[in-house]
Amino acid sequence: MVVHTGRHFLQIPGPSNVPDRVLRAMDMPTIDHRGPEFAEMALGIMEGCKRIFRTRNPVLIFPSSGTGAWEAAMVNTLSPGDKVLMAETGQFSVLWRTLAERFQIEVETIAGDWRHGARASEIEARLVADKAHAIKAVMIVHNETSTGVTTRVEEVRKAIDRAKHPALLFVDTISSVGSIRYEHDAWGVDVTVCGSQKGLMMPPGLSFNAISDKAIAASKTNRMPRSYWDWAEAIKANKLGSWPYTPATNLLYALREAIAMLEEEGLENVYARHTRHGEATRAAVRAWGLETVCVDPLEYSPVTTAVLMPEGHDANQFRQIILENFDMSLGAGLGRLKGRAFRIGHLGHFNDLMLMGTLSGVEMGLDLARVPHKSGGVLAAMDVLKSKEETVEVAR
């Protein structure tokens, strides 16, 4: 058995590395979730979430992975037989569609090649054609973690407005909030779906729904049965700093600490850091002579870079070689990219030297796996990191 020394490199695009501060924050006694100390903490966390999601409205927190927040979004706003419009951008959009269909929601899909984000113009055309307003919601994934492609949410909002269509806008931000600029209110999003284990630097286990007034209004008349996920019960309890069931107290300690860390750094700096790491990673990929899955520079993900393997080379074998030799986990290709692509996660609690270690592991792995490539990727990334320092002063 090989004994690895030092820290494992967890470079999948989430769960991301959990900072020691967040781990320590969880290592505390679980307190009475109906007591005054808990209520004060919970109310503070709820306000903090509003600042991170950039909304004045409630952000509901569920004890589940991100998929639970997808389900909560649907069962609170839609009715069986409703129609929704979904842009296929990658594996996560496909899973979201499957979930909707299980709730007897009719999904009109805009097919995609998994190398582009959702196209606002196509969404606009479908909505304009829907004269009877049968489409109740438009569903998009902000950062498609399976492909490293982002969708420009503001463009989709503008398209819905141009079409003068009343559909709700649902956005999956499971791998974007806390790492890529996101504006729930300013971008007119009705339901934002998120998870704790990526940009929010926490372990898996919490999920979120940020909701607009229009989404809350829809939840008062829709006909989908639900109980555990019911927004109304949660909103009522949250006003008093509690939940209608036992909350995940120790994960809430972690969330409180993660919000503090994001705000100490400043959200603008958090976004700039991820953008810079994305640029450095792509510089390495280009220098290796390899191709990213994402083809449009306006849609490059700041948090995930998916790289296509040259023909005849298996991405999973390559990942295995890197895991065995360098104790680093890279993301697998998912769905139709299985074996054809690997993904480098550069999100959450991350810095320049962690990125350089990651890219060094990839470059050495390319050699060991005899994947045809040019050397010099690591040097190219270093050049990007040396040339860019972008921080803004955080007001305290």
Checking DSSP bridges between strand 328-332 and strand 168-172, what pairing results, if any?
unpaired
Smallest distance from ligand PLP to CB 207, Å: 7
Smallest distance from ligand PLP to CB 67, Å: 3
Binding site for ligand PLP (CB under 6 A): 14, 65-67, 92, 141, 145, 172, 174-175, 195, 204
Nearer to ligand PLP, 174 or 287 (CB): 174
Asked if residue 342 lies in contact with residue 152, where contact means CB atoms within 8 angstroms, the answer is no
Nearer to ligand PLP, 95 or 382 (CB): 95
Amino acid letter, residue 310: P
Nearer to ligand PLP, 65 or 329 (CB): 65
Nearer to ligand PLP, 85 or 216 (CB): 85
Nearer to ligand PLP, 92 or 288 (CB): 92
Six token digits for residue 332: 């697998």
CB closest to ligand PLP, residue no = 66
Checking DSSP bridges between strand 143-144 and strand 149-150, what pairing results, if any?
antiparallel
Smallest distance from ligand PLP to CB 54, Å: 19
Q: Determine the Cα–Cα distance for residues 177 and 189; give it in Å rounded to an integer.
A: 13
Nearer to ligand PLP, 65 or 79 (CB): 65
Q: Determine the Cα–Cα distance for residues 119 and 87; give it in Å rounded to an integer.
A: 8
Smallest distance from ligand PLP to CB 236, Å: 26
Smallest distance from ligand PLP to CB 305, Å: 14
The structure tokens 């779906």 sit at 193
Six token digits for residue 164: 């003068």
Smallest distance from ligand PLP to CB 243, Å: 19
Query: For residue 1, how many other CB atoms are within 10 A of its CB?
Result: 3
CA atoms within 13 A on the CB side of 285: 25
Amino acid letter, residue 301: S
Six token digits for residue 94: 């496909």
CA dihedral 372, 375, 376, 377 (to 10 degrees): 30
343 in a known ligand binding site: yes
Asked if residue 363 lies in contact with residue 381, where contact means CB atoms within 8 angstroms, the answer is no
User: ∠ CA(85), CA(89), CA(93), 5° rounding?
Assistant: 60
| Annotation: binding site | 343
| Annotation: binding site for substrate | 343
